[in-house]
Amino acid sequence: MRRTKRMSGDKRNIRRFVAEQARDYWRLATRNLFAWLALTVAAAAIVLLVLIAAGEAPLPHGSPFLGLWRVMQSMGVLLHGGVGELARLEWPGVALLLGALALFAPRIRSSAAWLARRASRVKVGEVELEFTPEAAKELGQNTDEAFKLFRERADREFRRQIAALDIRPLLEATLRHSSAHTSGGALIPDVQESRCTLYVKDILFEDRLYQLIEYYPWDGKLSAGRTFSTRFGIVGRAWRTEKHMGEGNAQTDHDALMRDWGMTREEASRLTRQRRSYICAILKAPAEGGSEFTDGLPLGLFFADSPVENAFGSASEATKLGEGVAHAALETGLRTKLKVLRDELNRYSAGIRA
């Protein structure tokens, strides 16, 4: 009696052990693609053996595998019958039934979602991409954070270089130079409601300009660090053409700004677009010895504007004043320092093409 109880207890332990091993393997298979494939192959092999057993003659009487063989034959007969019944079903109705089950059964929905995630994941070398709405949202957040971090580091490096090279004091000296006087003999900062700044090539994105310093005289607003497309506005046009430009009565019509300058309606409506006078001076690299070098690469762009009509003179006078600013920047050493700035910051350039 005791031996019978011990044997039945051993059988229960064996069944429990087998069940635990099966559950562990199933958990592994749902997390690991190779384990899932191995499980699929094993299941297919069992089905194949069942089908073979159903079609083969029975084993000789007394064979040690006779019981297992008969069980497999019975399963094969049932499988053949099940396949035959499936072939006679109305499949549109079956598809509708399966769809309803998938819609209302949480376990089926979760399994389908898991299979969809498996099918939408691609791994190339050490890079894994997942094409799902959740992955897209996560990728967008990670990308935004990465760009924000890189921009903050770039801004810190810009500020460090600006302070080390005395860029703002050199700009002030350039504006006091005799070549930077208007046709009426006034200094650019003394022109009514005028402001000016410097732009250089951005180190994060290609085809964008970076506002290097705050407006001078400072208007109380933090504008340094902004970036603009080289395909946008008068600053972008001057940079692309590498020519000094000036205007005494710039158009402020919204439709004209959208048509001729690539602005959206919101951009054309901003108050900053109502500044009628401007100067764009291209600051190029000086030749050896610090002389004029008109064919050098653009280092930066000097920009000044005012809401007053003809504040810097007519269009031709404003353009000529831009040439004077470029010459003054050479005399004061501003262009030389901008070249040092460019050479230093090029080491950090990411060159991302948007």
One domain, residues 99 and 206? no
Position 149 in a domain: no
Residues 173 and 217 reside in one and the same domain: yes
Instruction: Give the whole-angstrom CA distance, residue 274 versus residue 258.
Output: 14
Q: Check residue 113 and give its pLDDT.
A: 60
Same domain, 116 and 222: no
271 and 186 together in one domain: yes
Q: Are residues 313 and 166 in the same domain?
A: yes
pLDDT in tens, 157-170: 999 999 999 999 99
pLDDT, the chain, mean: 76
| 181 lies in the same domain as 261 | yes
* pLDDT attached to residue 318: 93
Is residue 149 very low, low, confident or very high in pLDDT (cuts 50, 70, 90)? confident
Structure confidence by residue, pLDDT tens digits, 219-271: 888 899 999 989 888 899 999 999 999 998 876 666 766 766 667 777 666 64
Do residues 291 and 215 share a domain? yes
216 with 322, same domain?
Answer: yes
What is the structure's pLDDT at 351? 77
- Asked whether residue 144 is assigned to any structural domain, the reply reads no
> How far is Cα 134 from Cα 115, in angstroms, rounded to an integer?
15
143 located within any domain: no
**pLDDT greater than 60 at residue 339:** yes
Q: Is the pLDDT score of 189 beyond 60?
A: yes
**What pLDDT, on a 0 to 100 scale, did the predictor assign at position 271?**
47
Contact (CB, 8 A) for 141 and 148: no
**How many domains does the structure of the chain reveal?**
2
> DSSP letter string over 266-330?
HHHHSGGGG--EEEEEEEEPP-TTS---TTSPEEEEEEEEESSTTBTBSHHHHHHHHHHHHHHHH
* Stronger pLDDT, 291 or 180, i.e. the higher one: 180
Whole-structure pTM over 0.75, yes or no?
no
Q: What is the CATH number of the domain that holds 164?
A: 3.30.450.40
Whether 96 and 165 share a structural domain: no
Task: Count CB atoms within 10 A of the CB of residue 21.
Answer: 10
pLDDT of residue 296: 75
Three-state SS at 249:
coil
For residue 208, being part of any structural domain is answered with: yes
User: What pLDDT sits at residue 282?
Assistant: 96
Averaged pLDDT, 92-114? 61
Q: What would the pLDDT profile of 12-49 be if each residue is shown by its tens digit?
A: 766 776 677 667 666 665 665 556 666 676 676 666 66
Is residue 11 a part of any domain in this protein?
yes
| Domain match, 169 and 71 both | no
pLDDT grade, residue 117 (50/70/90)? low
Is residue 153 one of the residues assigned to a domain? no
The answer to whether position 353 is within a domain reads: no
Give percent of the chain with pLDDT exceeding 70.
54
Residue 306: the pLDDT is 92
CA distance linking residue 335 with residue 284, whole number of Å: 7
The pLDDT of residue 7 is above 60: no
Per DSSP, the three-state class of 6 is helix
**What Rg value do the Cα atoms of the chain yield, rounded?**
38
In a domain, 145, yes or no: no
Task: Say if residue 196 is in the same domain as residue 341.
Answer: yes
Q: Which domain holds residue 254?
A: 158-348
Q: Are residues 235 and 164 in the same domain?
A: yes
Per-residue pLDDT tens digits for 294-310: 567 899 999 999 999 99
Residue 181 vs residue 111, higher pLDDT:
181
